[in-house]
A = this chain, B = another copy of it.
Amino acid sequence: MSHNSFGHLFRFTTWGESHGPAIGCVVDGCPPNIDINEAFIQRFLDERKPGTSRFVTQRKEPDAVKILSGVFEGKTTGTPISLMIENTDQRSKDYSEIKTRYRPGHADFTYDAKYGIRDYRGGGRSSARETASRVAAAAVARKVLGDSIKITGGVVQIGTETIDRARADWSTVRDNPFWCPDPVAAKAWEEYLDSIRKDGSSVGAILEVRASGVPAGWGAPVYGKLDADLASAMMSINAAKAVEIGDGMATGGYTGPQNADAIRMKNGAPEFQSNHAGGILGGISNGDDIVVRLAIKPTSSMLTPVPSIDADGHEIDVRTKGRHDPCVGIRGVPVAEAMMALVLADHKLRHRGQVG
């Protein structure tokens, strides 16, 4: 049991605090002879890094990845791949305010309750900064999956603003600062999020990640289910509060006929006529697109003061100043894509191991 690891055959372990010297991960179990280099990994880190638009935190981190092991002359060797990202923006700022004052909605109180100690600087281990390690590990996972599997994530709701599914074009998610597949909605969201930001408030979001090209048969029947692993993976993302597969919560309101995905043959292969199931039946992929959604709560850092307590049990009010994301969900998209890639790579190897 490794609290900070994920996966079985393709397994990674992350380490590092927001304001320590570095963060990183070790990817264990990667097959040998796969082309990989720092530039390829960096591309994904750059998509996640802060400061790319006015709608995300202005913290400046180049997030430059170094490969420390497991790759030789541009190819994986089958030995553990150690990836490190140095922390460069460790301002010598005054953290005394959060040292003993529990920010509501953050993990300050629970870490202290658990460990009796925490690196409080910038959220320490509970900072979303840890997710850079996942994105780096996932770049390797994407190589394991190969080009036939496409993973695309986006934001389908920001606060009260939703997309129009009829307008959704997932190929456009990188054309706007929100990873929004609906270009019209994306335009409207600028104004909406500007107002949230100016108010010093924050807002939640709903993310969707889709994987196409996954063959039928990946997964496992009972506890290593593909959907259970995806649920665990997505819920492990900071601020995630819910995970849906396919139609998700809505299926609770369906009748059987409403929920049924008919199957027909097309070019000699089964084709599902709808995808309420999100590509997974009985914990195993059915060959259709894997569809996962997750809710990211609004960041708890905001100007509105909230009643709280300090480490000595005094009642206080907490107001968070500083460089925060008005909607942390936006930067969650590359992370959710990463978790999809990491789960699928693990299941690819697990399937090959058991079934051949």
Contacts and interface: CB of A to CB of B under 8 A. Distances in A.
Most chain B CB neighbours (cut-off 10 Å) among A222, A283, A299, A315: A222
B107 A157 contact: no
A68 B20 contact: yes
Contacts of A308: 262-263
B70 A15 contact: yes
A6 B222 CA distance: 9
Q: Is the interface of A mostly helix, strand, loop or mixed?
A: mixed
A196 interface: yes
Given A24-B68, A284-B110, A296-B252, A130 B232 contact: no
A222 B14 contact: yes
Interface residues of A, number: 157
Copies of this polypeptide in the complex? 4
Interface string A1-36: 111111011010111110011111010111111000
Interface stretch (A47-55, A146-154, A163-171, A213-221): A213-221
A335 to B, nearest CB: 12
B300 A219 contact: no
Contact of A4 (B32, B117, B223, B260): B223
A305 to B, nearest CB: 10
A17 B81 CA distance: 10
